[in-house]
Amino acid sequence: MSYWFRPFFPESCVDALLDDYLAYDTMLRIRGSFSGIAETFRAITIKYDWRHVVLVSDDNITNLCGYGAKPFDEVFGQDENYTFTWLRFGSKPTSMQIENILQQIQAVARGL
């Protein structure tokens, strides 16, 4: 994670495809409660002195992934020490929508 300086940190969803550590070599894998995962990520941001946090999830906040994402908003969204952006997309995004999200991540996460 520190080598690439671009961790992929899943907020709660479990997908067998994401278990391939060779394909997703910058992913930090942890387990725990939804609020515990957000607090763990906060400890990581403190360790590496990161100030820009981008959370990407689908737009359905009533499903399992939505429940996992909400604590990130609670931890980072009200903290003036962070720039927190929560990007949401539909369940079947188009290539153009994915490209748009990637551009937003690049702009926001790097503080541009």
CA distance 36 to 33: 5
Task: Quote the pLDDT of residue 105.
Answer: 85
Residue 80 lies in a domain: yes
Burial of 9 (0-12, 13-18, 19+ CB in 10 A): middle
Residue 46 lies in a domain: yes
pLDDT digits (tens, 9 = 90+) for 28-77: 666 667 778 888 889 988 988 888 888 888 777 666 666 778 888 899 98
Contacts with 74 (C-beta within 8 Å, 6 or more apart), sequence order: 35, 38
Task: Quote the pLDDT of residue 46.
Answer: 92
Task: Quote the pLDDT of residue 7.
Answer: 58
Residue 8 lies in a domain: no
Residue 1 lies in a domain: no
- Which one is predicted more confidently, 50 or 24? 50
Residue 105 lies in a domain: yes
Residue 87 lies in a domain: yes
The total number of structural domains in the chain stands at 1
Residue 96 lies in a domain: yes
Residue 58 lies in a domain: yes
pLDDT digits (tens, 9 = 90+) for 78-107: 899 998 888 888 778 889 988 998 888 888
pLDDT band at 8 (very low <50, low <70, confident <90, very high): low
Residue 78 domain boundaries: 16-109
Residue 80 sits in a domain whose CATH number is 3.40.50.2300
